[in-house]
């Protein structure tokens, strides 16, 4: 179960170019494979003959095909000692091997080959014998030892998913979690509510606070309480306990009627929140922290404020956020095409909103071993409940995405808007990050497959800031952020030798890094405190007369579902 939790936590959904992936791109990759196969019958005969030879060896017990030692699907001893099971595994491995050699032999360019390899892996993974009862020895043993109760429970789990989870296999047991009771428990209050967002101010936990507050801008595709999951892993609590005046935006879950909300609307809302934070705290600066698509929004905000010569923005923290994407950054990136992006924009505009459930379903099928087949085996074949894990509970609490905002995110990806200096116009200005001079803290995750760390590192070269810090957390996407002190396995990497200027490339930076044991949070909070001014007495009350406290944290908008 712990492995299942960890794998799933590394595969949480996030907004990126994949929202522009269309079925035509997938079918196109399949069509290319079929076209190349049909164009050379001799090549097909050659690979068919090789696969046939493998099949004969398997039938005669002479095959030496064995799974990769890292492949967790075939760790049960039955795969080695049961002749029937071993043969079934080897048949599957023969297909896997044959498909790999066949793809390598096709006359495809690099992009076409990447597309073909990605799609074929999805198809082959679905054929794994472990995905069925007859081909899964662990499930068979469970059925015997439980007297068949595991099968009954598995059927019930499958029925519940069909009826209550829109046909998707459940990744988390939601029953133990309740917002405001054991998730998102930090004390605070909504001090501003608009049509688009709630602004939450959290209650200080120290007698003194730093004069410059911090505002967190969360992603629009997920809910804000990722910042306050539990007292043990709450970024909000950690900031409060270290004297930071903490504010967080909570986005409203858009309906079809709000499908016109675009990047300009979200940036204007962020600006409204910044100004409210400044008035509430009496500060002339507000530091900002943001992650993933929230980081892209915060960056657009920073560019717009720089264009307007607005000096309210203080230090800026960007976590697991890609501003300079490249198509080969992620496995499925090869499937994203110019035509696919145009189709995705058109469909989003027509629908008004992209349903959160649809986004989650599409994302899951791009990583089926981690996000589908693992749970099919656990929930249906073994008859076990999915893990009760707070990160997965948050990940399953999907939100909609307005069609206009999705179109803007795709435009940013397509035009590489953040890399250009005054060439791309969005949010009523020409984007130019060289005009942004805020001190920057940028975080990446070693095993992050959603926003790969080398892609996040490119952001260090885009801004006009003289003070840029890059930290690499030894974990995946959300786990890179949720890395509180106390984890004995935690470690991170920073630039060594007291160098100030960061190298041009991630590979150069890596050569000069220093490994540090423990969580990166203390390093970051020291960085934030240094840029938060002097200390003063903590406010006795939240809000002001103009921004009177409304509902208690985490507010109303976070409770809305798709």
| Span 481-510, pLDDT tens digits | 888 998 888 999 999 766 678 999 999 999
Question: Is a pLDDT exceeding 70 seen at residue 24?
Answer: no
Distances (CA, A) of 553 to 61, 180, 184, 224: 64, 7, 8, 11
Q: Which residues contact 429 (CB under 8 A, 6 or more apart)?
A: 303, 304, 307, 308
Please check whether residue 396 is in contact with residue 161, taking contact to mean a CB–CB distance below 8 angstroms.
no
Question: What are the Cα distances from residue 148, in Å, to 134, 139, 141, 376?
Answer: 14, 10, 10, 17
**Side-chain-side CA neighbours of residue 507 (13 Å):** 0
Instruction: Give the integer Cα–Cα distance in Å for 379 and 385.
Output: 6
Looking at the predicted structure, is the pLDDT value of residue 365 above 80? no
Do the strands 286-291 and 313-319 form a parallel or antiparallel pair, or are they unpaired?
parallel
Q: Is the peptide bond before 554 cis (omega within 30 degrees of 0)?
A: yes
Band (100; pLDDT cuts 50, 70, 90): confident
18 has pLDDT over 60: no
Q: Regarding predicted confidence, which is higher, 246 or 111?
A: 246
Reply yes or no on whether the pLDDT at 209 is more than 80: yes
Supply the DSSP string of 164-211, one letter for each residue: HSTTPPP-S--TT--BTTTBS---EEEEEE-SSEEEEEEPP-SSEEES
pLDDT tens-digit map of 53-70: 888 999 988 989 999 888
DSSP per residue over 196-256, as a string?
Answer: SEEEEEEPP-SSEEESS-EEEE--SSS-GGGGGS-GGG-HHHHHHHTT--EEEEEE----G
Q: Looking at the predicted structure, is the pLDDT value of residue 558 above 90?
A: yes
Between 5 and 103, the more confident residue is: 103
User: Which residue intervals of 82-196 are DSSP H helices?
Assistant: 83-105, 110-126, 137-145, 149-164
Question: Residue 15 pLDDT more than 60?
Answer: no
Q: Which residues are catalytic?
A: 292
**Whole-angstrom Cα distance, residue 278 to residue 444?**
29
Cβ atoms 314, 287 nearer than 8 A: yes
pLDDT at 19: 54
Structure confidence by residue, pLDDT tens digits, 175-206: 999 999 999 999 999 999 999 999 999 999 99
**Counts of helices then strands in the chain (DSSP H, E):** 21, 16
- b/e code 139-153 from CB counts within 10 Å (16+ = b): bbebbeeeeeebbeb
Q: Which two tokens stand for residue 301?
A: 């905000």
Q: What is the CA radius of gyration of the chain?
A: 25
Eight-state DSSP code of residue 387: P
The tokens describing 226, both together, are 């990722």
Tokens representing 167 are 């046909």
Tens-digit pLDDT profile for residues 257-273:
999 999 999 999 999 99
Among the ranges given (14-18, 299-303, 555-559), the one the predictor scored with the smallest mean pLDDT: 14-18
Residue of higher predicted confidence among 369 and 452? 452
For residues 449 and 10, the answer to whether their CB atoms sit within 8 Å is yes
Residue 445 has pLDDT above 70, yes or no: yes
Percent above pLDDT 70 for the chain: 89
Question: What is the average pLDDT across 522-535?
Answer: 97
pLDDT band at 71 (very low <50, low <70, confident <90, very high): confident
Nearest to 296 by CA among 409, 434, 439, 425: 409
CA distance 108 to 104: 9
Residue 153 has a pLDDT of 96
Q: How confident is the model at residue 356 (pLDDT cuts 50, 70, 90)?
A: confident
| Residue 17 pLDDT > 50 | no
CB 21, CB 348: distance < 8 Å? no
* Strand partners of residue 493: 472, 515
* pLDDT tens readout for residues 417-440: 999 999 999 999 999 999 999 999
pLDDT for position 307: 97
Q: What is the DSSP letter of 555?
A: -
């Amino acid at each position: 179960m712990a492995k299942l939790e960890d794998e799933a936590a590394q595969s949480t959904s996030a907004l990126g170019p994949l929202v522009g992936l269309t079925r035509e791109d997938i079918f196109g990759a399949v069509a290319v494979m079929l076209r190349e196969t049909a164009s050379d019958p001799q090549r097909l005969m050659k690979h068919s003959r090789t696969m046939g030879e493998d099949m004969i060896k398997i039938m005669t017990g002479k095959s030496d095909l064995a799974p990769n030692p890292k492949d967790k699907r075939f760790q049960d001893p039955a795969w080695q000692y049961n002749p029937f099971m071993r043969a079934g595994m080897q048949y599957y491995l023969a297909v896997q091997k044959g498909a790999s050699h066949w793809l390598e032999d096709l006359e495809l360019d690099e992009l076409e080959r990447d597309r073909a390899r990605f799609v074929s892996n999805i198809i082959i993974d679905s054929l794994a014998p472990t995905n069925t009862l007859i081909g899964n020895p662990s499930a068979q043993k469970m059925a015997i030892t439980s007297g068949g109760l595991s099968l009954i429970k598995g059927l019930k789990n499958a029925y519940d998913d069909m009826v209550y989870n829109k046909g998707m296999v459940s990744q988390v047991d939601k029953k133990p979690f309740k917002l405001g009771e054991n998730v998102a428990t930090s004390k605070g209050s909504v001090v501003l509510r608009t049509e688009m967002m709630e602004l939450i101010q959290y209650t200080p936990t120290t007698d003194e606070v730093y004069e410059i507050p911090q505002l967190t801008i969360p992603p629009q595709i997920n809910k804000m309480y990722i910042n306050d999951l539990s007292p043990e892993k709450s970024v909000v609590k950690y900031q409060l306990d270290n004297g930071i005046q903490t504010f967080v935006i909570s986005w409203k879950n858009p309906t079809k009627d709000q499908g016109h909300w675009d990047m300009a609307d979200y940036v204007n809302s962020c600006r409204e929140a910044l100004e409210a934070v400044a008035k509430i705290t009496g500060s002339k600066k507000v530091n900002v922290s943001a992650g993933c698509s929230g980081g892209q929004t915060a960056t657009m905000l920073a560019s717009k404020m720089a264009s307007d010569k607005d000096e309210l923005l203080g230090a800026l923290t960007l976590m697991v956020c890609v501003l300079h994407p490249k198509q080969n950054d992620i496995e499925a990136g090869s499937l994203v095409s110019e035509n696919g992006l145009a189709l995705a924009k058109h469909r989003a505009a027509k629908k008004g909103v992209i349903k959160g459930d649809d986004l989650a379903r599409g994302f899951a099928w791009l990583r089926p071993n981690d996000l589908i087949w693992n749970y099919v085996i656990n929930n249906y074949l073994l008859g076990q409940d999915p893990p009760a894990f707070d990160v997965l509970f948050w990940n399953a609490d999907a939100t909609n995405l307005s069609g206009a905002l999705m179109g803007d995110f795709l435009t940013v990806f397509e035009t590489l808007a953040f890399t250009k200096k005054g060439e791309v116009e969005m949010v009523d200005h020409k984007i130019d990050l060289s005009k942004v001079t805020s001190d920057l803290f940028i975080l990446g995750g070693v095993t992050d497959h959603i926003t790969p760390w080398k892609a996040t590192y490119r952001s260090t070269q885009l801004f006009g800031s003289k003070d840029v810090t890059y930290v690499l957390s030894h974990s995946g996407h959300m786990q890179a952020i949720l890395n509180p002190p106390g984890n004995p396995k935690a470690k991170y990497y920073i630039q060594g030798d007291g160098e100030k200027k960061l190298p041009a490339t991630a590979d150069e930076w890596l050569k000069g890094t220093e490994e540090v044991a423990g969580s990166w949070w203390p390093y970051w909070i020291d960085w934030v405190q240094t840029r938060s001014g002097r200390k003063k007495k903590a406010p006795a009350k939240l809000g002001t007369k103009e921004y009177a406290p409304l509902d208690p944290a985490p507010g109303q908008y976070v409770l809305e579902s798709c």
